[in-house]
Amino acid sequence: MVNPISTRRPFIIPIFLPHAGCPHQCVFCNQTSITGAQRDSVSPEKVERQIHEFLKYKGNDRRPVQAAFYGGNFLGLEKEYIKRLLDVSAKFVKNKEIDAIRFSTRPDTIDHDRIEIIKNYPITAVEIGVQSMDDGVLAMVKRGHSASDTQKAVALLQDRHYQIGLQMMVGLPEEDEAGSLSTAYRIGELEPDFVRIYPTIVLKNSLLARWYENGTYRPWSLERSIAHVKTLYLFFKKKNIPVIRMGLQASEDLDSGAAVLAGPYHPAFGHLVHSEIFLDMATEIMGHKSVSRDTATLKVHPKSISKMRGMKNSNVETLKRRFRLQSLKIVPDSSLPEDTLALSP
């Protein structure tokens, strides 16, 4: 049973299944490092405890609540195990403590038989790990599926009116900006409900780590990754496809460097991308208005103040130098959309 799609961002209760159900070890993958969870079987009892615990954190937050199975290949699990995990989660939906269930899975595990397993559960969204739509790149990173598997999976889910999220990666071996943009175009043609974009990070104890150490693979820089993800974000925005995350979710292992060997990891990667977009917008509007005074004032929505300022006020300083200003004020204006700005007269 598919619940109606809410237009509000849900309150997510994450349940991590590191590598569970994965038939392959992708070259970039070390889910234990990404999630901070150990590669043990997650029992229904543990799922129940996790949901109860997160419901305490929710407080008075009135957003829809979803239990989300991440970090593994959900439909690659044993049939009875899938049912046990969904049964315990569905009890919370029945009791109106949460609103729905979502999960991430590989495209090649989405078929008629597996959809039959889940069809009577209150699942709203299914996220698919696409990573690339180039079969050569997919083979290189040992994904074990093809681009056509993604196309077939999306068609099956769309026929059953599930909300679909597609996840892509940038900086994969043998894929440059042009190849990554081609993947974005093909994802756009599939018309998903939302997208996640992840830069490729060299995680310790991954095959990619060995390639990095022997010089076979060179990760993208943070600056290169931000610039390209900005391009992808603007492309999807033009297609009216929300990008709900850019960059890996921060964790203790990632932030401490214990899990990352190399690559463009930053705990606020998405914020950096948005800041670059606001810097571009400000540069354009200030240049168009021919700012020549010693001071200027930009107005943005209150939620976008930090994006406009940039990390450690970097955007403000850049604009002051660029336009030779003594002072640049950033002021809140709740009448503006969150993704726009205005120059005060």
Q: pLDDT tens digit string along 332-344?
A: 999 999 999 999 8
pLDDT computed for residue 33 by the predictor? 45
pLDDT per residue over 122-174, tens digit each?
Answer: 999 999 999 999 999 999 999 999 999 999 999 999 999 999 999 999 999 99
Q: What is the mean pLDDT of the chain?
A: 91
Single-letter amino acid code for the residue at 127 = E
Question: Within 10 A of 341 (CB to CB), how many other CB atoms are there?
Answer: 21
Distances (CA, A) of 32 to 168, 202, 327: 20, 14, 47
Can you name the residues that pair with 295 across neighbouring β-strands?
Answer: 327
Q: How far apart are CA 101 and CA 323, in angstroms?
A: 50
Sheet holding 295-300, edge to edge: 327-332, 295-300, 341-343
In this model, does residue 12 exceed pLDDT 50? yes
Sequence-separated contacts (24+) of 316-324 with Cβ below 8 Å: 318/279, 319/279, 319/282, 319/283, 319/286, 322/283, 323/286, 323/287, 323/291, 323/296
Q: Is the pLDDT of residue 320 over 80?
A: yes
| pLDDT tens, position by position, 67-88 | 999 988 999 999 999 999 999 9
Q: Return the pLDDT at 214.
A: 96
Q: Using an 8 Å Cβ cutoff, are 128 and 166 in contact? A: yes
Domain extents in the chain: 11-199, 278-343
Q: Give the pLDDT confidence score for residue 3 in this predicted structure.
A: 40
Displacement of CA 31 from its chain's centroid (Å): 15
Burial 28-43 (b: 16+ CB within 10 A, else e): bbbbbbbbbbeeeebe
Chain CA centroid to CA 269, Å: 11
Q: pLDDT > 90: what percent of the chain?
A: 78
Amino acid 22: pLDDT: 73
C-alpha 197/C-alpha 146 separation (Å) is 19
Picking from 141-145, 197-201, 223-227, which range would have the lowest pLDDT averaged per residue? Answer: 141-145
Residue 329, strand partner residues: 297
Q: For 11-199, which CATH class?
A: alpha beta
Rg, the chain, Cα only:
22
Distance CA 210, CA 305 (A): 41
Cα–Cα distance measured from residue 44 to residue 68, given in angstroms and rounded to the nearest whole number: 14
CB 165 within 8 A of CB 107: no
Q: How many CB atoms lie within 10 A of CB 71?
A: 24
- 19-28 pLDDT tens trace: 676 766 788 8
The per-residue b/e assignment along 189-228, b for 16 or more CB within 10 angstroms, e otherwise, is: ebebbbbbbbbbbbbeebbbbebbeeeebebbeeeebbeb
Summarize pLDDT for 27-48 with one digit per residue, the tens.
888 754 444 444 457 899 999 9
Q: How far is CA 60 from CA 13, 57, 90, 175, in A?
A: 15, 9, 22, 45
Q: Which tens digits make up the pLDDT trace of 235-284? A: 999 999 999 999 988 776 777 778 899 999 999 999 999 999 999 999 99
**305, two tokens:** 């103040």
Nearest to 119 by CA among 95, 90, 91: 90
pLDDT at 292: 64
